[in-house]
Amino acid sequence: MTEERKLRVVIAEDSVLLREGVARILEGAGFEVVGQSSTADDLLLKVRSYNPDVAIVDIRMPPSHTDEGLTAAKTIRAEHEDVGVLVLSQYVEPDYALELLADDAEGVGYLLKDRVADVGEFASAVRRVADGGSALDPAIVTQLVGRRRDDDPIETLTPREREVLELMAEGRSNHAIAQRLVVTDRAVEKHVTSIFGKLGLPAAAEDHRRVLAVLAFLRA
């Protein structure tokens, strides 16, 4: 029997302690860390050299510690379509999330650094991104969904539908949503159908397509 190939990861984070900590967590979860970087430029070099499955990128990196990591993440998405990108942020920055997701939600994630402490959830998010799915931090999703517009269709959703919508935007499958909310899969399917109907969005089978539809609505 052939051993399953480990997912290959590069990590860009200027804090040595956090970078090494993320590397150890991922290696313990079965990933192969093929490169570590402290600058955005070195990250891009390692992505070109090692062709990883996922690049994990801190948004704020040297020299200015503003958006160098975000810029590098966007470059990776534009030039290396087969590489998933998971950005980490110390703060809730919805505008950066929307900038990263401007064209496509496939193979992209945005998490707060605090989420790294939940090893199982963090590893699951990295795998989803590597598989072409999405992983958005619940805090980011809450702010995006909570934004108000004139004649906002979000207001027509029931409290339960809003819960389902937020979990959809995190990249959760119907079954995962059902487990989280302790309801049946069929109940979730009904909520999803109702949500898409109220928001005027076409239902799609893949989780990342559903996230793309939700975010497209939120950007409108």
3-state secondary structure of 142: helix
Asked whether the beta carbons of 133 and 110 are under 8 A apart, the reply is no
Q: Note the pTM of the prediction, 2 decimals.
A: 0.76
Q: How far is CA 88 from CA 14, 19, 99, 157, 194, in A?
A: 12, 11, 14, 30, 33
Three-state secondary structure call for residue 172: coil
Backbone φ and ψ of 89, nearest 5°: -135, 145
Domains of the chain by start residue, with CATH: 8-137 (3.40.50.2300), 147-219 (1.10.10.10)
Q: How far apart are CA 108 and CA 51, in angstroms?
A: 16
pLDDT tier, 2 (very low <50, low <70, confident <90, very high otherwise): very low
Q: Which string of b and e fits 166-201 if b means at least 16 CB within 10 Å?
A: bbbbbbbbbebbbeeeeeeeeebeebbebbbebbeb
Q: Which residue has the higher pLDDT, 128 or 95?
A: 128
Average pLDDT of the residues of the chain: 85
Cβ distance 121 to 128 under 8 Å?
no
pLDDT tens digits for 67-98? 899 999 999 999 998 999 999 998 888 778 87
Query: Residue 120 pLDDT more than 80?
Result: yes
Percent residues over pLDDT 90 in the chain? 47
Q: Is the peptide bond before 153 cis (omega within 30 degrees of 0)?
A: no
Query: SS3 breakdown of the chain: % helix, strand, coil, rounded to 5?
Result: 55, 15, 30
